[in-house]
């Protein structure tokens, strides 16, 4: 049930930010919303997308099975884009609002539409495999968090 780690990192980003734990790239006196944004870019976007890249390439068969799929070439492409998004998420953590927005746009497009696809598969195909159902928490939660925090910190 390793897929639960992804929503847990989003929850951790919120908790760390709300309790004021200093985040990578954030100023020492950063308010909670800046901390939540930095932690979100660093963990569920940065670290987890890099882990996703590994899972969809090196551990492709096991990862596909956890989603209810079979391994194919597109899964490797998913791993490659995940690597790029992960690196960009970590990089954006240390940059300003332009970088945050630039990372939020493709991350949102990817995750939100992946979430829609997962919901369609649950309804149409009755695919309730953990990698297809539990993942929708972060598919929608990460984009909502990114845009809510970008608005809150005045980056929009």
Compute the average pLDDT of residues 138-148: 96
pLDDT of residue 1: 52
Using alpha carbons, list the distances in angstroms from residue 82 to 35, 110, 122.
Answer: 23, 10, 23
> How far, in whole angstroms, is CA 124 from its chain's centroid?
25
Q: What is the pTM of this model?
A: 0.89
Contacts of 81 (CB under 8 A, 6+ apart): 110
Task: Output DSSP code: residue 2.
Answer: G
* Position 135 confidence tier, pLDDT thresholds 50, 70, 90: confident
DSSP characters over 5-54? HHHHHHHHHHHHHHTT---TT--TT--HHHHHHHHHIIIIIIIHHHHHHH
Per-domain boundaries in the chain: 2-152
User: 96 phi and psi, to 5 degrees?
Assistant: -100, -165
Q: What is the mean pLDDT of the chain?
A: 92
Q: What is the pLDDT of residues 14-64, one digit of tens each?
A: 999 999 999 999 999 999 999 999 999 999 999 999 998 998 888 878 877
What percent of the chain shows pLDDT beyond 90? 72
């Amino acid at each position: 049930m390793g897929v639960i780690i992804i929503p847990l990192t989003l929850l951790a980003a919120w908790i760390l930010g709300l309790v004021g734990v200093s985040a990578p790239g954030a100023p020492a006196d950063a308010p909670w919303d800046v901390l939540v944004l930095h932690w979100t870019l660093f963990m569920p976007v940065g670290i987890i997308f890099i882990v996703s890249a590994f899972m969809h390439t090196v551990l492709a068969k096991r990862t596909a099975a956890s989603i209810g799929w079979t391994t194919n070439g597109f899964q490797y492409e998913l791993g490659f884009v995940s690597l790029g998004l992960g690196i960009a998420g970590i990089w954006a953590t240390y940059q300003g609002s332009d970088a945050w927005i630039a990372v939020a746009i493709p991350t949102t497009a990817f995750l939100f539409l992946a979430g829609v696809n997962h919901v369609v598969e649950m309804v149409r195909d009755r695919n309730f495999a953990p990698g297809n159902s539990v993942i929708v928490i972060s598919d929608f939660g990460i984009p909502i968090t990114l845009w809510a925090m970008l608005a809150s910190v005045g980056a929009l």
